[in-house]
Amino acid sequence: MSSPDGATTVSIDALHSFCMEILCDLGVSSAHAQVTSDALTLADSWGTFTHGTKLLIGYAQRLKRGGLRTDTEPQVVKEGPAWAIVDGQATLGQVVSTFAMTKAVELANKSGFGYVGVRNSCHFGAAGVYSSLAAKENMVGLSMANDVPSVAAPGSRTSITGTNPFSYAIPAGKHPPILLDMAISTVAGGKIYAAQQLGKPIPDNWLIGPDGKPTSDASLYPANACLAPMTAHKGYGLALMIESLSAIMTGASLTWNVGSWMFDDGTKPTNHGGCFIAMNVAAMQPLDEFLTRVDGLIDEIHEAPKADGVERLYVPGEMEWERRQKALQEGIKLPADVVAQLRLVAKEFDIHPSWLQ
């Protein structure tokens, strides 16, 4: 169902089926297509549209050219009691990352803690997808990845690090998990692209122009501008931690040696790195006690005094989980820029679902 603003409402199941059909047409196995479609539609149901099905057309181009492979499986190449290194074999980033977090949970079940480092992966979409997998198992989950540089360092005129996304998820009892998913830039690059496509202005603290000063000209990105680091030196420092755990520790490519999944040669792997950590709460304290304490923390925040005009205080992820519950009942309202990308990929593969007309 389309609205005057170009948005379209679609059920999660219909959107998932659309993704499955496209991916399977590209030679992706049913199992890999399922994992990828799960991740993309979950992000859309959270309202994280920059990292949902909008990415499908870019992945399709790389799959067609061979830079993303359909004939391989992620492999554990080194392993210890509480750690493992995974070679993603240039498969879809969602597949590699799900495999890695599942392995981290397996290790944490045995040892109380699991670190899984990844190399030879690709863009993995929304980091929160993988942290939430750990939270489903009543574990604390962390996920992060490096990327081709697009973010300035304080004082630089060029990009120094990638947006290097980071997420954590903390399971709760009566409440949904606390879930943070963020880039180390002031905003994710996808928000700049969305503003360009929708013709919307951006604040003057999102981009750094070629002179090293802030700019509000979204058209400069990415060729002639870079993203501003979140809270200056703090975001920059976090970016280097993520680069170290995701790439230096794993053998993945670093900074400018990472391939751009959007712009570089589509026939070649990007060799993104990733880091996935699971902490087994039940191995350290009674699980019920932990979940009750997390619920108590959330309740305390909800009950804290509010500023004038503020109706409610949220914990990270609360808005996203509520959007998902609404989406499960009413469908996802995809914004116009997402719909435009889905129409392009539908036309390319001669697939014409009624909700996309």
- What is the DSSP secondary structure assignment for residue 145, as one 8-state letter? E
CA distance 256 to 198: 29
At 208-229, the pLDDT tens digits run 999 999 999 999 999 999 999 9
d(CA 129, CA 16): 15
DSSP structure string for 21-80: HHHHHTT--HHHHHHHHHHHHHHHHHT-GGGSGGGHHHHHHHHHHTSS-SS---EEEEEE
Confidence (pLDDT) at 269: 98
Instruction: Report the pLDDT value the prediction gives residue 197, as an integer from 0 to 100.
Output: 85
Contact 187, 195 (CB under 8 A): no
Q: What is the mean pLDDT of the chain?
A: 96
Q: Are residues 9 and 77 in the same domain?
A: no
Q: Is residue 194 part of a domain?
A: no
pLDDT, residue 198, reads 84
Range(s) of the domain holding residue 16: 1-65+318-357
Say whether both 32 and 155 belong to one domain. no
Q: Is the pLDDT of residue 1 over 70?
A: no
Length of the chain: 357
SS3 300: helix
Q: What is the separation of C-alpha 4 from the centre of its chain, rounded to a whole number of angstroms? A: 29
pLDDT tens digits for range 308-331: 999 999 999 999 999 999 999 999
- Band (4; pLDDT cuts 50, 70, 90): low
Could you tell me the pTM of the whole model? Answer: 0.95
Q: What is the pLDDT of residue 191?
A: 87
Structure tokens at 315: 């914990």
Tell me: cis bond preceding 222? Omega within 30 of 0 counts: yes
**What percentage of the chain has pLDDT greater than the value 70?**
99
In a domain, 255, yes or no: yes
- Is there a single domain that holds both residue 143 and residue 165? yes
d(CA 268, CA 249): 22
- Are the beta carbons of 230 and 182 closer than 8 angstroms? yes
Q: How far apart are CA 49 and CA 67, in angstroms?
A: 24
List own/partner pairs for 207-214 with CB under 8 A and 24 or more apart: 208/152, 208/156, 208/157, 210/157, 211/157, 212/152, 212/155, 212/156, 212/157
| pLDDT for 3 beyond 80 | no
Residue 107 belongs to some domain of the structure:
yes
Specify the pLDDT at position 189: 85
Say if residue 351's pLDDT is above 70.
yes
Cα Rg of the chain, angstroms? 20
**What's the domain count of the chain?**
2
Rounded Cα distance, 290 and 139, in Å: 10
pLDDT digits (tens, 9 = 90+) for 151-170: 999 999 999 999 999 999 99
Question: Do 94 and 169 share a domain, yes or no?
Answer: yes
State the SS3 of 165-217. CEEEEECCCCCCCEEEEECCECCCHHHHHHHHHHCCCCCCCCEECCCCCEECC
Examine the domain organization and report whether 30 and 139 are in the same domain.
no
Asked whether residue 118 falls in the same domain as residue 253, the answer is yes
Same domain, 78 and 178: yes
Are both 95 and 33 inside the same structural domain?
no
Examine the domain organization and report whether 255 and 128 are in the same domain.
Answer: yes
Q: Which of helix, strand or coil describes residue 91?
A: coil
Which of 303, 329, 346 is the endpoint of a domain? Answer: 303
Q: What is the CATH number of the domain that holds 247?
A: 3.30.1370.60
pLDDT, residue 38, reads 98
For residue range 122-144, what is the model confidence (pLDDT) as tens digits? 999 999 999 999 999 999 999 99
Residue 60 has, within 13 A of its CA and on its CB side, a CA count of: 22
204, part of any domain: no
Instruction: Looking at the structure, tell me whether residues 16 and 132 fall in a common domain.
Output: no
Structure tokens at 311: 């109706």
Same-domain check for residues 3 and 139: no
Q: Are residue 3 and residue 145 in the same domain, yes or no? A: no
pLDDT at 147: 97
Quickly state the pLDDT bin for 199 (edges 50, 70, 90): confident
Instruction: CATH number of the domain at 347, please.
Output: 1.10.1530.10
* Any domain includes 113: yes
pLDDT, one tens digit per residue, over 225-244 is 999 999 999 999 999 999 99
Reported confidence tier of residue 357, pLDDT bands at 50, 70, 90: confident
Position 310 in a domain: no
pLDDT of residue 242: 98
Distance CA(179)–CA(171), nearest Å, equals 9
Any domain includes 21: yes
- Asked if 184 contacts 233 with a C-beta cutoff of 8 angstroms, the reply is no
For residue 2, is pLDDT > 70?
no
Return the percentage of the chain with pLDDT > 90, whole number.
Answer: 94
Is the residue at 29 inside a domain?
yes
